[in-house]
Structure 1
Amino acid sequence: MQYCFCFNYYYSCILLLLLICTAGAATKLQRNESILAIQAFGDSFLDTGNNNHLISITKCNFPPYGKDFPGRKPTGRFCNGKVISDLIAEALGVKELLPSYHDKNLRSKDLQTGLCFASGGSGYDSLSSKINQVIPQSDQLQFFKEYKAKLKEDVGKERSETIIANSLFLISSGTNDILFRYFGTKLRQLQYDVPTYTDLLATWASNFFRDLYNIGARKIAVLNTSPVGCLPFSRTIGGGSERECAKDYNQAVELFNAKLSSQLASLSRELPQSTMIYVDLYNPLLHIILEPNKYGFGISDKGCCGTGAIETAILCNKLTSTTCSNASAYVFWDSIHPTEEGFKSLVSKLVPQLFE
């Protein structure tokens, strides 16, 4: 008991200090600022189909995924419909859907308005991608370089530079690192405590943002990490018999998010002509989960498809999964990812954070 008190006190002090140091340090877009394209990087909250060609279990290009997508088509989005990258692109008036970089049917217009490079299962920690056999963020950067060359060939040097300079680079990452890489392995017991691992994670994140800047990104919006302790999967494995939110998971995320905010504030001062936007996803999603009725949902502690209340499976099983009759009543589609309605409710809280 004494150890727990000391750890929680130490954790609280670190978090408070980080929040004080970064208060008011975030940068934002101007309301009249032109956004010509969306470029998405990171994990499954943004992935629109980049894992489809991989030999990996972290993919979802099969029913019941896509059940409520236009044409009822499973595209590789980890949802019954659209995901965050689609919805933000639509909200900003760029386009209705954000195609994946590996889509074989890409057109010139798709290149000019941006693509998704994100890969479900990836993280700031390169070992997260290796564990899940998905595309690491370093390779996502390489694919973006290839995209830049194709865009230049398509529209010319001057126009391509204008598009990249006026692209919003959207990043979502960290969930796989904390939920699976840290708490899902013996890493925390054998090598790192939470403060040490979140320090490393914040450094890796900062390096990724700097690499993005160095290949042309100037408007970078980073979604902080979700309340992983309140995902249906986490309630099952870490929430005890009552399936409560796993508090230690959320504490780790809160500490990382504070450090992430600090890193972005530092980069915004370091990198000329950069706009580094820290977007709080954690608290809006947590509020939706804890008060679903307030947002028009009935159920937030289990997913619409998969294994029902037990939620030991991460993704829906294409052979055995059953789905609920009304996905819009659920915050979550499977044990990790929100439904399209869940994402829509969340995005309505995220988009206003992009602007001053």
Structure 2
Amino acid sequence: MELTIRAFPFFFFILFQYAESQSSIPKFTAILVFGDSTVDTGNNNYIPTIFRANHPPYGLDYTNGIATGRFSDGQLVPDVLAQLLGLKQKGGVPPYLRPNISDAELRSGVSFASAGSGYDDLTATLSGAISMRKQMEYLKEYIGRVKKSVGEREGERIVKGGLVIVSGGSNDFVLNFYDVPTRRLEFSIGKYQDFLLEKLQSFVKELYDVGCRKIIVSGLPPIGCLPIQLTAKSPVLRKCVEKENSDAQSYNAKLQHMLAALQETLPGSKVLYADTYTPLLDLINNPQENGFVETKKGCCGSGLVEVGPLCNSNSHVCTNPSEYIYFDSIHLTESAYLQVAEYLIKDLLRKLSDDESR
């Protein structure tokens, strides 16, 4: 992973701010990532699904303008964190078993995430993505390979000292509840939230059982402000769907409570909630203060519905993606991801650092 030229000023500002004191940045042995398209660095390139971003104009602001499979014009939040922490991450599905990826590269970080995935197994079934259950299986394979490479004790140290990021949930609500009412036929919104949180709790417990100790779990963004949701629910006024945003907030409140309670049952763990709702809603409500111009449509195509295969080399692309919050009708631009990353770095890495110093 290399940074785009446009990202350098912002990135080095972060480095300067947080590296003045080496103790302010926790030391991690690896970065392990699970979830959906918000953190998928290209795993879907290798599976039979239409949820792919390995074609232009995705990646136009990434190194050499390469479409890597990231659903953005450039980097994602884990990319920024990995750079800051001096780590690298590779895709973690079967490609990580390829002989051209060295054990040394794998030891420093792996993304197992898959665009279209969710905590509900049905979500991945509908999208053809790698389910969270399967991502866990790949993690166990990964741990086995690392231990075979460096030995049992060192392998355990790498896993225990790794930073784990889990980001998901949006697809469950959009694909299974709001736009395709599969789960709405059997669950109220509150019951479906609880159903997903039970799945997520089991996933975090299993992460702990295989040796992970520092885990960050992302909450939901303001789903009702996604351009594709505006197109479906407010095509003329293009106002955020308040009911969906309210649902996201209530889910996030439950998630925070669940994670705090869960940490108490997992000795030696640090399980943190990542608030992505607040910084993203701030960008949407105060675009000019944050350097943005367009908040209601994506940079790709009309910006109203294009995502994945509909955002392609034939699509019109805005002249300056950094002025847009969304690159397609669902996913953020690199500029927006960088600002969310700054918020998370200030909020979360400091908490992990404080925990280490105790």
Q: Report the TM range for the smaller structure's normalisation.
A: 0.7 to 0.9
Distance in 2 separating the partners of 1:139 and 1:351: 29
Distance apart, 1:241 and its partner CA: 2.0
- Aligned-CA RMSD value: 1.6
| Residue number in structure 1 paired with 2:328 | 334
Q: Deviations over 1:251-281 (max 9, x none)?
A: 1111111111111011110111111011111
CA–CA distance in 2 between the matches of 1:33 and 1:65?
32
Residues 1:255 and 2:250 are matched in the alignment: yes
Aligned length: 323
Structure 1 equivalent of residue 33 of structure 2: 40
Higher helix share: 2
Deviation at 1:176, TM superposition (A): 0.4
Aligned to 1:145: 140
Which residues in structure 2 correspond to 1:149-168 (within 5 Å)? 149-168=144-163
* 1:276 has 2:271 as partner: yes
CA displacement at 1:306 relative to structure 2: 2.7
Note if contact 2:32-2:110 (Cα within 8 Å) is conserved in structure 1.
yes
Unaligned runs of 5+ in 2: 1-22, 352-358
AA aligned to 2:336 is G
Matches within 5 A, 1:89-104: 89-95=82-88, 98-101=89-92, 102=95, 104=98
Distance 1:118 1:189 in 2: 26
The answer to whether the Cα contact below 8 Å between 2:118 and 2:132 also exists between their aligned partners in 1 is: yes
Shift of 1:234: 1.0
Q: 1:162 to 1:219 in 2, by over 3 A?
A: same
Aligned-residue identity in percent = 36
> CA deviation digits over 1:95-143, x for unaligned, max 9?
4xx2211355422332121100000111111111111110000000000
Deviation at 1:196, TM superposition (A): 1.2
Question: Which residue number in structure 1 is paired with residue 173 of structure 2?
Answer: 178
Amino acid at match of 1:56: T
CA contact (8 A) 1:173 1:225 kept: yes
CA distance in 2, matches of 1:127, 1:59: 19
1:7-30: CA deviation from partner (whole Å, max 9, x where unpaired):
xxxxxxxxxxxxxxxxxxxxxxx9
- Matched with 2:123 is 128
**SS of the counterpart of 2:68?**
coil
Deviation at 1:188, TM superposition (A): 5.8
TM-score of the aligned structures, taking structure 1 as reference length = 0.87
Summarize deviations over 1:298-334 as a string: whole Å, max 9, x none: 11111111323xx123334324311111111111110
Displacement over 6 Å in runs of 4+? none
Q: Secondary structure at the match of 2:118?
A: coil
* TM-fit CA distance, 1:72: 1.3
Q: From 309, 312, 315, give the equivalent of 1:321.
A: 315
TM-score for both structures, normalised by structure 2: 0.87
**1:299/1:32 CA distance change after superposition, 3 Å:** closer
Deviations 1:270-293 (A, max 9, x none): 111111011111111111112111
Distance of 1:198 and 1:241 partners within structure 2: 30
Partner Cα distance (1:32, 1:232) in 2: 35
Q: Partners of 1:306 and 1:110 in 2: how far apart?
A: 37
| Aligned positions of 1:1-16 closer than 5 A | none
Q: Give the Cα–Cα distance (whole angstroms) in 2 for the partners of residues 31 and 124 of structure 1.
A: 33
Report the residue type matching 2:214 in the other structure: K
Q: Which residue matches 2:343?
A: 349
Residue identity opposite 1:348 in structure 2: E
For 1:278, give the aligned amino acid.
Y
- Partner Cα distance (1:158, 1:341) in 2: 40
How far apart are 1:71 and its partner, in Å?
A: 1.9
1:83 aligns with 2:73: no
Partner SS state of residue 130, structure 1: helix
Q: Distance in 1 between matches of 2:39 and 2:29?
A: 18
- Return the offset for 1:226: 1.0
CA distance in 1, matches of 2:102, 2:136: 21
Letter in 2 for 1:141: M
